[in-house]
Structure 1
Amino acid sequence: MWKTIILKNDRFQKLPIIRLEFPYDFELKEIVKGFPECKWYLKERVWAVPYTPTQVSELLQYFKEKKIWLDYSRIQKVDLPDKHPELPQLDAPLHSEIRRFKDWLRNRRYSEATIKSYSEAVAFFFRFLNNKPPGSITNEDLEIFNRDYIIRRKYSVSYQSQVINGVKLFFNILEERVLDPEIIKRPKKAKSLPNVLSKQEVKDILQALSNLKHRFMLVLLYSCGLRRSEILNLQIEHIQYDRGMILVKNSKGKKDRVVRFPEILHDLYGEYLKAYQPKKYLIEGRGGGQYSARSLAEVLKAAVEKAGIKKPVTPHWLRHSYATHLHEGGTDIRYIQELLGHQSSKTTEIYTHVSNREMREIRSPIEDMDIKI
């Protein structure tokens, strides 16, 4: 059973911190001491770390590897004063250039999320360089921006790649010039394995709630391997009951796909429709309209707690578990790729690393020894 640490906001000497509260446990204390910047505050008699926007994520990553569960439900976002000098506003000519860039991206059907991230990246780049004319930009400017803006402000590896790709595309398309981002050594993004629940844990979660809508929602999420956005966007017309299929429209990468609608769900689906009578979306809020992502997360959290599972389970954990359980059951990785809607098989192959299908067939050398244990 995983040990638990409760995280809470507080302020020591007017500085925001995160308290790590737990009953005294020598081994747990030694692990807590190992987290960077974690200090024992004698007066308050508590371990704590400085608050940063990414601190909870870093704590989750560190303690997950130690098999310790963090309860961060009491943590609230804190507005921190900007330690860095304010960047100048973008001037009018560059505003116009970025509008042209956004139009180009839209005409080529880039997603709105990508358009937003790329155009904001280009805007920050020019603001950092004090509205330097595009024709005067050099590779050295890109290096300085990477070093003094992205790295100094401790932005993530993903954000660094996103910004550099956006700036590179802007110059390649609108300026017909190529900046060479390869001069910047980008750190490799950490390759972490997906979080997977056992079949028994999934069963306990799905059976934990008595509310029909909540139970149907979680069962559908796992049994079809859906992303959070996919289940929230599902409409009644997408359920192909007679064919036993569900049409997932406009998913990640603007792709449609079909997934199985298991027959075991059909009766539950009928009960749900009769009880809630949704108008458009399959799962709707109290006043109608699309169900919220926050409500979905809260429903899952309640089910996990009621099932007695001490893990920070998210909706995507159910998708990871679905894929892993399929592979362990003998489903070919190519079919799993189609069911999940992955563009590359390399994305799907990560589930072979957490599946124990082949692992169970490997004998330890000790099993071939004539030895009494």
Structure 2
Amino acid sequence: MKKIILNTAKHRNKNVLAIRFKYDDEIKEHLKKLENVLWSQTLKCFYIELSLKNLRIIFSYLKNTNWTVDYSQLHSFIEKSKIEEKRNSHLIDEIPTEYQIELQKFEKWLFQKRLSENTVNTYVDVTATYIKYALLKKVDLFSTKIVEAFCYDYIYKPSKSISYQNQFISGIKKFFEYKGYAYDQIHIERPKKEKKLPIILSTDEIKSIFNTITNLKHKALLSLLYSAGLRIGEAINLEITDIDSKRMLIHIKQAKGKKDRYTLLSSAFVKILREYYIAYKPKKYLFEGQKGGKYSNTSAQKVLKNALFRADIRKKATLHSLRHSFATHLLEKGTDIRYIQELLGHSSPKTTMIYTHVTETSLKKIKNPFDDLF
């Protein structure tokens, strides 16, 4: 009996549903009749965009054949998709064209306000989701009540983060402003932010991470993030000319808050950087993708995730943890917190003060009363 195997794959940085089988003209011709199913020379199989909807289409299309369809590798994806589908049951599937055009205009308006690309993408995304919700409910978009209902159904019930809820409120307020509604007309209460301490990697853990990395480009990128205390957006926006090896400084241009600043250029990092530059020869940006342009945030996250796994570090560290670790280790070495504030580009010393709560040196000075019992 002919057998078709369905599993997931990556095609041009997108998740796809791969349709694999031993070469067979009958199956091939049958699949070619199905809309949106394409052939990949790279994957050597047919594929379609990965979604539960497309999986159902494939199943429905193949059910009248006598072929065996093996989807055992998709069980985890199916379960997660069903949960997400249940969450999104209060949203319409497609945004009507008139609202798509409105979102495009909103996006241009946000860019004209000189907001960062990440902020614009977030605001447009949350607004699109909100529009899907309001249209399904068939209510006025510009109503505080429907905003509150959305917060409950889409954010509170699925236990999405307070940070996401605040992003949503900010995005919606901007959309309302774009449509001519003043801020004081929108009475939406913001939840208080959770006060979480940053995840800090010890110096030994940092060493372990770098010892596991064999790819020179990956090592250079993570070394830069830690040695200069950069945000990932700042690192991937760096141009070659921003590295000042004579003054041993890095020029960070128009970072968060539209501010320029200088931070440290490590002499040990310069050695890694020179090796990297000779090997990869970047043209404009210090770190570039395979096809040119800026290196992607997603690729950088994967580099750290793989390094943490190989170093057997179980902490839920992110790229930002390298920045946190840089600041904490400086503080532990006795660096004045005002200098750390400047290096990190914090507007307020209150933001930098959080590192005083996680330094080993300050905590070790406290004598534990339990030790006096024995």
Q: TM-score, normalised by structure 2?
A: 0.65
Distance, in Å, in 2 between the alignment partners of 1:263 and 1:337 is 21
Distance, in Å, in 2 between the alignment partners of 1:302 and 1:122 is 34
Give the CA deviation at 1:99: 5.7
Who is 2:336 aligned against?
332
Who is 1:175 aligned against?
180
Gaps of 5+ in 2: 1-7, 9-75
Compare 245-254 and 81-90 and name the one that shifted more: 81-90
Amino acid at match of 2:354: I
Who is 2:263 aligned against?
259
Picking from 328, 348, 351, the partner of 2:352 is 348
Contact 1:171 1:179 in 2 (8 A): no
Amino acid at match of 1:147: Y
Contact 2:199 2:316 in 1 (8 A): no
Distance, in Å, in 1 between the alignment partners of 2:96 and 2:231 is 40
Gaps of 5+ in 1: 1-8, 10-74
Higher helix fraction: Structure 1 or Structure 2?
Answer: 2
Amino acid at match of 2:179: L
Contact 2:166 2:191 in 1 (8 A): no
Matches within 5 A, 1:8-87: 78-80=80-82, 82-83=85-86, 84-87=89-92
Instruction: Describe the SS at the equivalent of 1:237.
Output: helix
Amino acid at match of 1:283: F
Instruction: Describe the SS at the equivalent of 2:247.
Output: coil
Give the CA deviation at 1:119: 4.0
- Rate the CA distance shift 1:275–1:324 in 2: closer, same or farther, 3 A: same
- Rate the CA distance shift 1:351–1:127 in 2: closer, same or farther, 3 A: same
Picking from 188, 196, 209, the partner of 2:192 is 188
Picking from 118, 122, 126, the partner of 1:117 is 122
Matches within 5 A, 1:249-288: 249-285=253-289, 288=292
Distance, in Å, in 1 between the alignment partners of 2:101 and 2:322 is 44
Contact 1:172 1:179 in 2 (8 A): no
Superposed CA RMSD in Å reads: 3.5
Aligned residue pairs total 293
Amino acid at match of 1:257: R
Contact 2:331 2:359 in 1 (8 A): yes
Amino acid at match of 1:79: S
Q: TM-score, normalised by structure 1?
A: 0.65
Give the CA deviation at 1:259: 1.0
Distance, in Å, in 1 between the alignment partners of 2:151 and 2:212 is 48
Distance, in Å, in 1 between the alignment partners of 2:335 and 2:146 is 50
Distance, in Å, in 2 between the alignment partners of 1:147 and 1:308 is 39
Q: Would you say 1:142 and 2:147 are equivalent positions?
A: yes
Distance, in Å, in 2 between the alignment partners of 1:295 and 1:172 is 35
- Rate the CA distance shift 1:93–1:300 in 2: closer, same or farther, 3 A: closer
Who is 1:199 aligned against?
203
Distance, in Å, in 1 between the alignment partners of 2:210 and 2:101 is 52
Render the CA deviation track for 1:243-275: whole Å, top value 9, x for unaligned. Answer: 111112333334332111122333333333333
**Identical amino acids, percent of aligned pairs:** 42
Contact 1:241 1:261 in 2 (8 A): yes
Amino acid at match of 2:180: E
Give the CA deviation at 1:152: 3.9
